[in-house]
Amino acid sequence: MKLIICDDYNGVSKAAADIVAKEVNTNPECVLGLATGSTPVGMYEILADMNKAGKVDFKKVKSFNLDEYYPLSAENDQSYHYFMNENFFSKINIDKNNTHILNGMCENAEKECEQFEQLIEETGGIDLQILGIGQNGHIGFNEPNDNLCSLTHLTDLTENTIDANSRFFKSIDDVPKQALTMGIGTILKARKIIIMACGANKHDAVRALLSGLISTDMPASMLNVHTDVTLICDKEAYSNDCIGIDLGGTEIKFGVLSSDKKLVYKDSIPTDNSSEEKIVSGIANKCKEIMKKYTVSGIGVGTPGIIRNGRVTASNLPFKDTNLKEKLETAVGLPVRVSNDANCAALGEVICGAGQHIENMVMISLGTGVGGGIIAGNKIYEGTGCAGEFGHIVIEIGGRQCPCGQLGCLEQYASASALVDAAKSAAETNTDSILNKLYTEKRTMDGRIFFDAVERGCSVAKAVLDEYINYLAIGIKNIYNILDPELIVLSGGITNSDKLLLDPLKRVLGDNIKVTISKLKSDAGTIGAALLV
Ligand code: PGA
C-alpha cells in the first residue's frame, strides 16, 4: 500500500484531486468510482476548480457511486444523489447520463444491485475507485461482519455508522437503517484505489489498515490484497502513537506509547558517547526501525542536562548547546520535543503512574545523583530550563564537596550513591558488624547488600539508614515548603526497599507531606518523554 501523509485536510484533498485529475487527463474516458461523506468534499471542490480552469475535462468520464441509503429518495437532501449533485456533478462538465448511483427507492433491491454490477462490467470496469473509511473500518457500507459480501448488495447499517452519520440528519431516528452498497469484491476489481482518512477519529482504522492484517472486523483491511492502493491521510489520522526516548549516559531506552497511553513497545541500545553525531544517528536508526512497525506521529526525548529551546548542554553526554530537536527532526522527519529526563519521568508519573488524578506533583529521583521534576497544573515546570535540580539544594553549610562546585549539596547525602558510600565506609570501620560480614563476603557494596544488612538487624547499617533518611527528609521538607505539592514521588532502585525506606521516612516527615514511590519505575522516563508530544 502506498502512503501519502499530509499536514491537514486541505493537503489530503489536494493530493487526492491530483491523482484523480491525472487519471482523467491520461484517460479522458475513464470510469471513476466515487465516494460520499465529509472526507471527499474538499477533493471535489478542488476538482471543480480545476475543471473550471480547464485543467481537467470530465466530458467523457463515467462514474459509479459506492453506495446509497435505502430507502431514501434522490430528492432527499441527505441522499447521496443529492450530495453528488450539490458537491460535484453540478459544478463540472460531466454528462449526467454517464453518472450512476444506486436507486434508494428501487422496488427490488436485489435486481437493482445486479443491474449495477452488470453496468460496471459493461462499461469496462472501474479505473480509479475513491474511498473514505468509517471509524469502524467500513468502506462503502461494507460494515464489520463475519460474512462480507463480494458483490453490490443491500445491507443493514451498524449502530456505529448510524451514530456517526446522524450528524447530517435532523435526528438519529431519521438515519436510514439500511443501504445499497458495492461489495468488497466490486471495490477490489477497480484497477486503482485511493482511500482517504482525516482526523484522530480515523486513527484506529488507519492503524488497523496499515498493520497489513486482514480481518472481516475491519473491512478496509481487505484492501491489503489489492496491488494498487494509495492511502492518503492527515497526520491526525495517521497516528497518535509516539516514541518516547530516555537518553542516559550508558543506555538509550525507547518506548512506543499508544493513543490510549499504553506502552506497546520497549527496547534499548547502548549509548555511544564518542560524539553527538553518533548519539543522533543511533537514535534516528532505532526510530526508523520502530516506524516500520508503528505509525508514529512524533518523538519525545528526555535527556540529562540543561535544555533551552531544544538545545542541550549535558556533562555526561557529548552535548554542548546541541540543537537535539533540530538534528533529530532532520534525521527522522517527525516532530521532536526535548525536555530534561527527570521532568519527563515526573510527567509520565503524573499522567500514567502514581500521580494520576492530581495536578501538582514533585518527583525526586535517587540515583547516582538526586534529580527532580516539578509538575504544576499537569504540566512540566521548567523555569528557564533547569527548574527542579533538587540535588543541588545546600543542606549542610561547608559540607561535602559537590562536582557542581558547591559544598553540602543534597545529592552528596541523599543520592543512592551517597548511601552506598556511607554503607561502605561504615562496613570498613565496624569490622564486627553484619554489614562488614556481607561486604567482605560479596566483595562489593550496593543497595541490596546494605538493605539486607538492615533487615538482618545490623545496628551499624540501621544507623547509616537513619542518617540517610534524616538528610533526605531535610531535602524533602525544603522542597515541600517551597512548592507545596499534592504528592512527592520518589524513584530509583533504592526505593524498592519500600518498608525499610519509605515507612521510616514518612514517620520523619509527618502527616502533611504525602510521599510515595514511583509506580512506573524504569518506564517513567520513556512514557513521560512520549507524553511531551
Ligand atoms: P466521512 O465518512 O468521510 O464522513 O468521515 C467516511 C465513511 O464513513 O466511509
- Strand blocks (E) in 165-250: 178-181, 192-197, 229-234, 241-247
245 Rama sector, left if φ>0, alpha if ψ -120 to 50, beta otherwise: beta
Q: Which helix (H) or strand (E) holds 6?
A: strand 2-6
- Rg for the chain (alpha carbons), in Å? 31
Cis peptide upstream of residue 485 (ω within 30 degrees of 0): no
Mean pLDDT of 103-124: 97
Distance from residue 202's CA to the centre of ligand 1 (Å): 9
Ligand 1 atom at shortest distance from the alpha carbon of 135: 8
Asked if residues 75 and 187 have their Cβ atoms less than 8 Å apart, the reply is no
Ligand 1 pocket, mutate which of 43, 65, 133 (most atoms under 8 A from CB): 133
pLDDT at 380 over 80: yes
> Which region holds residue 348: left if phi is over 0, alpha if psi is between -120 and 50, else beta?
alpha
pTM: 0.62
**Does the annotation mark 224 as catalytic?**
no
pLDDT of residue 208: 80
pLDDT of residue 316: 79
- 178-181/2-6 β-pairing: unpaired
Interval 136-183: pLDDT, tens: 999 999 999 988 889 999 999 999 899 999 999 999 999 999 999 999
Instruction: Give the pLDDT mean for 283-311.
Output: 90
Kindly report the protein residue whose alpha carbon is nearest to atom 8 of ligand 1. Answer: 134
| Cell 499522567, residue located | 351
Do 412 and 418 form a contact (C-beta atoms < 8 A)? yes
Active-site option among 67, 236, 341, 523: 67
Are 40 and 16 spatial neighbours (Cβ–Cβ below 8 Å)? yes
Using alpha carbons, list the distances in angstroms from residue 80 to 47, 287, 338, 348. Answer: 18, 43, 48, 47
User: Could you confirm whether 25 is annotated as catalytic?
Assistant: no
Nearest to 260 by CA among 284, 272, 242, 273: 242
And the C-alpha cell for 498?
519500600
Beta-carbon contacts of 24 under 8 Å, excluding residues fewer than 6 positions away, are 30, 32, 56, 57, 58, 61
Longest dimension (CA), the chain: 102
Tell me: the pLDDT tens digits for 336-349? 999 999 999 999 99
d(CA 468, CA 412): 10
Query: Does the pLDDT of residue 303 top 80, yes or no?
Result: yes
Grid cell 547516582 in the structure block, residue: 368
CA nearest to 375, candidates 351, 406, 404, 397: 351
Is the shortest distance between the CB of 219 and ligand 1 below 6 Å?
Answer: no
- Return the HEC string of 416-477: HHHHHHHHHHHHHHCCCCHHHHHHHHHCCCCHHHHHHHHHCCCHHHHHHHHHHHHHHHHHHH
Q: 459-483 and 498-509 helices cross at what angle (nearest 10)?
A: 50
Looking at residue 110, its pLDDT comes to: 97
For residue 358 the three cell numbers come to 492530581
Distance separating alpha carbons of residues 469 and 467, to the nearest angstrom: 5
pLDDT at position 203 = 84
Active site includes 226?
A: no
Ligand 1 neighbour 87 (Cβ under 6 A): no
pLDDT digit string (tens) for 64-75? Answer: 999 999 999 999
Buried b (16+ CB within 10 A) or exposed e, 277-294: eebbebbbebbeebbeeb
How does pLDDT run across 501-521, given as a tens digit for each residue?
999 999 999 999 999 999 999
CA of 133 to the centre of ligand 1 (A): 5
pLDDT at position 293: 83
Determine contact, residues 137/218, Cβ cutoff 8 Å: yes
Q: Which residues contact 66 (CB under 8 A, 6 or more apart)?
A: 33, 34, 35, 36, 129, 131, 139, 140, 141, 181, 182, 187
Query: Is the Cβ–Cβ distance between 331 and 281 less than 8 Å?
Result: yes
- DSSP E strand boundaries for 75-152: 99-100, 128-131
What separation in Å is there between the alpha carbon of 121 and the centre of ligand 1?
A: 26
The three grid cell numbers given for residue 42, joined into one nine-digit string: 474538499
For residue 119, report the distance from its CA to the centre of ligand 1, in Å. 25
Give the model's pLDDT for residue 22: 98
Give 317-369 pLDDT, tens digit per residue.
999 999 999 999 999 988 899 999 999 999 999 999 999 999 999 999 998 88
Name the range with the highest mean pLDDT among 127-141, 307-321, 485-499: 127-141
Ligand 1 atom nearest to 40, measured from its CA: 3
Three-point CA angle 325, 331, 334, nearest 5°: 65
Across the range 112-140, mean pLDDT stands at 97
**Stretch 112-119: mean pLDDT:** 98
- Please answer whether residues 157 and 177 qualify as being in contact, where contact means their C-beta atoms are separated by less than 8 angstroms: yes
- 311's enclosing H/E stretch is strand 311-314
Ligand 1 close to Cβ of residue 132 (< 6 A): yes
Is there an atom of ligand 1 within 6 Å of 160 CB?
Answer: no
Q: Would you say the CB of residue 328 lies under 6 angstroms from ligand 1?
A: no
Number of the ligand 1 atom closest to the C-alpha atom of 35: 9
Average pLDDT over the chain reads 94
Question: Average pLDDT, stretch 189-212?
Answer: 89
Catalytic residue among 68, 112, 143, 523: 143
- What atom of ligand 1 comes closest to residue 196's alpha carbon? 3
**Looking up cell 506502552, which residue turns up?**
263
143 catalytically annotated: yes
